[in-house]
Amino acid sequence: MRESKVRQLQIFLRVYGLLSLILFGGLMLGFVAKAPWLDEGAAGHWLIWDRVTDHVAPMLLAVYVVWSIFLLRAARDPLANTMFLDFTVWASLAHGISMVPHALESPEYHIKFLTDIPWVLIPVVAITLLRRQAVGESISVNSVRSRG
Protein backbone atom coordinates (compact mmCIF):
# COMPACT_ATOMS: atom_id res chain seq x y z
CA MET A 1 0.00 0.00 0.00
CA ARG A 2 2.80 2.44 0.93
CA GLU A 3 4.41 1.86 -2.44
CA SER A 4 1.20 2.88 -4.23
CA LYS A 5 1.00 6.20 -2.34
CA VAL A 6 4.68 6.89 -2.92
CA ARG A 7 4.13 6.02 -6.58
CA GLN A 8 1.21 8.47 -6.77
CA LEU A 9 3.42 11.18 -5.26
CA GLN A 10 6.17 10.37 -7.76
CA ILE A 11 3.72 10.59 -10.65
CA PHE A 12 2.33 13.90 -9.39
CA LEU A 13 5.82 15.38 -9.02
CA ARG A 14 6.82 14.22 -12.50
CA VAL A 15 3.66 15.48 -14.22
CA TYR A 16 3.55 18.79 -12.36
CA GLY A 17 7.32 19.29 -12.75
CA LEU A 18 7.21 18.58 -16.48
CA LEU A 19 4.17 20.78 -17.11
CA SER A 20 5.76 23.57 -15.06
CA LEU A 21 9.00 23.24 -16.99
CA ILE A 22 7.12 23.52 -20.30
CA LEU A 23 4.97 26.42 -19.06
CA PHE A 24 7.66 28.50 -17.40
CA GLY A 25 10.33 27.61 -19.95
CA GLY A 26 7.98 28.67 -22.74
CA LEU A 27 7.10 31.92 -20.99
CA MET A 28 10.79 32.58 -20.39
CA LEU A 29 11.42 32.20 -24.12
CA GLY A 30 8.51 34.60 -24.74
CA PHE A 31 10.15 37.19 -22.51
CA VAL A 32 13.58 36.70 -24.06
CA ALA A 33 12.07 37.14 -27.54
CA LYS A 34 9.82 39.96 -26.26
CA ALA A 35 6.90 38.19 -27.91
CA PRO A 36 4.24 40.77 -28.78
CA TRP A 37 1.42 38.25 -28.17
CA LEU A 38 2.31 38.30 -24.44
CA ASP A 39 2.29 42.08 -24.00
CA GLU A 40 -0.50 44.23 -22.59
CA GLY A 41 -3.64 44.13 -24.69
CA ALA A 42 -2.51 41.07 -26.63
CA ALA A 43 -4.21 37.67 -26.61
CA GLY A 44 -1.58 35.98 -24.43
CA HIS A 45 -1.24 38.67 -21.77
CA TRP A 46 -3.41 36.64 -19.38
CA LEU A 47 -0.41 34.29 -19.05
CA ILE A 48 1.81 36.93 -17.44
CA TRP A 49 1.56 39.72 -14.86
CA ASP A 50 3.94 42.29 -16.36
CA ARG A 51 4.70 43.84 -19.69
CA VAL A 52 6.88 41.64 -21.83
CA THR A 53 9.67 44.24 -21.57
CA ASP A 54 9.70 44.26 -17.75
CA HIS A 55 12.52 42.58 -15.86
CA VAL A 56 10.88 41.06 -12.76
CA ALA A 57 8.85 38.30 -14.43
CA PRO A 58 11.82 36.68 -16.23
CA MET A 59 13.69 36.48 -12.93
CA LEU A 60 10.72 34.72 -11.31
CA LEU A 61 10.34 32.47 -14.35
CA ALA A 62 14.00 31.46 -14.06
CA VAL A 63 13.39 30.40 -10.46
CA TYR A 64 10.34 28.38 -11.51
CA VAL A 65 12.28 26.66 -14.32
CA VAL A 66 14.93 25.55 -11.82
CA TRP A 67 12.24 24.59 -9.30
CA SER A 68 10.56 22.45 -11.96
CA ILE A 69 13.82 20.60 -12.60
CA PHE A 70 14.21 19.93 -8.88
CA LEU A 71 10.62 18.65 -8.65
CA LEU A 72 11.51 16.16 -11.37
CA ARG A 73 14.61 15.14 -9.42
CA ALA A 74 12.67 14.84 -6.14
CA ALA A 75 10.22 12.49 -7.88
CA ARG A 76 12.92 9.80 -7.90
CA ASP A 77 12.65 9.43 -4.12
CA PRO A 78 10.10 11.82 -2.60
CA LEU A 79 10.49 10.52 0.95
CA ALA A 80 14.21 11.30 0.84
CA ASN A 81 13.49 14.88 -0.26
CA THR A 82 11.31 15.92 2.66
CA MET A 83 12.92 19.30 3.25
CA PHE A 84 12.64 20.29 -0.41
CA LEU A 85 9.00 19.21 -0.54
CA ASP A 86 8.30 21.12 2.71
CA PHE A 87 9.86 24.19 1.12
CA THR A 88 7.78 23.65 -2.02
CA VAL A 89 4.56 23.46 -0.02
CA TRP A 90 5.25 26.55 2.13
CA ALA A 91 6.74 28.68 -0.66
CA SER A 92 3.87 27.81 -2.99
CA LEU A 93 1.32 28.62 -0.29
CA ALA A 94 3.00 31.97 0.41
CA HIS A 95 3.19 32.79 -3.29
CA GLY A 96 -0.45 31.83 -3.88
CA ILE A 97 -1.67 33.91 -0.94
CA SER A 98 0.46 36.90 -1.94
CA MET A 99 -1.07 36.90 -5.44
CA VAL A 100 -4.64 37.25 -4.16
CA PRO A 101 -4.63 40.99 -3.30
CA HIS A 102 -2.87 41.83 -6.58
CA ALA A 103 -5.41 39.82 -8.56
CA LEU A 104 -8.26 41.52 -6.71
CA GLU A 105 -6.78 44.98 -7.26
CA SER A 106 -6.87 45.02 -11.05
CA PRO A 107 -9.77 43.72 -13.16
CA GLU A 108 -7.42 42.51 -15.91
CA TYR A 109 -5.83 40.16 -13.35
CA HIS A 110 -9.06 38.58 -12.07
CA ILE A 111 -8.30 35.74 -14.51
CA LYS A 112 -5.42 34.80 -12.18
CA PHE A 113 -7.99 33.16 -9.89
CA LEU A 114 -8.42 30.59 -12.66
CA THR A 115 -4.79 30.33 -13.76
CA ASP A 116 -1.74 31.29 -11.69
CA ILE A 117 -3.23 31.08 -8.21
CA PRO A 118 -4.62 27.55 -8.54
CA TRP A 119 -1.45 26.45 -10.38
CA VAL A 120 0.78 27.35 -7.43
CA LEU A 121 -1.70 25.98 -4.88
CA ILE A 122 -2.06 22.56 -6.56
CA PRO A 123 1.27 21.30 -5.16
CA VAL A 124 0.35 22.54 -1.68
CA VAL A 125 -2.66 20.23 -1.59
CA ALA A 126 -1.24 17.33 -3.60
CA ILE A 127 2.14 17.08 -1.88
CA THR A 128 0.63 17.52 1.57
CA LEU A 129 -2.03 14.84 1.09
CA LEU A 130 0.01 12.32 -0.89
CA ARG A 131 3.06 12.58 1.32
CA ARG A 132 1.01 12.34 4.51
CA GLN A 133 -0.60 9.15 3.21
CA ALA A 134 2.73 7.70 2.06
CA VAL A 135 4.52 8.55 5.29
CA GLY A 136 1.57 7.43 7.42
CA GLU A 137 1.52 4.08 5.68
CA SER A 138 5.28 3.81 6.09
CA ILE A 139 4.96 4.40 9.84
CA SER A 140 2.13 1.85 10.09
CA VAL A 141 4.07 -0.79 8.19
CA ASN A 142 7.22 -0.21 10.26
CA SER A 143 5.35 -0.32 13.58
CA VAL A 144 3.65 -3.61 12.60
CA ARG A 145 7.00 -5.08 11.57
CA SER A 146 8.67 -4.04 14.84
CA ARG A 147 5.88 -5.70 16.88
CA GLY A 148 5.96 -8.92 14.92
Asked if the structure places residue 147 within a domain, the reply is: no
Tell me whether residue 134 is in a domain: yes
Q: CB of 48 within 8 A of CB of 119?
A: no
pLDDT tens digits, 24-39: 999 898 888 888 888 8
Predicted pLDDT of residue 2: 65
Residue 4 has pLDDT above 60, yes or no: yes
Long-range contacts of 44-48 (CB under 8 A, 24+ apart): 45/108, 46/111, 46/115, 47/115
pLDDT for the residue 135: 75
Whether 148 is covered by a domain: the verdict is: no
What's the rounded Cα separation, in Å, for the pair 3 and 7? Answer: 6
What pTM does this model have?
0.83
Number of domains in the chain: 1
In a domain, 133, yes or no: yes
Q: How far apart are the first and last CA of the chain?
A: 18
For residue 89, give its domain range: 2-142
pLDDT in tens, 5-64: 899 999 999 999 999 999 999 989 888 888 888 888 888 777 777 776 777 888 989 999
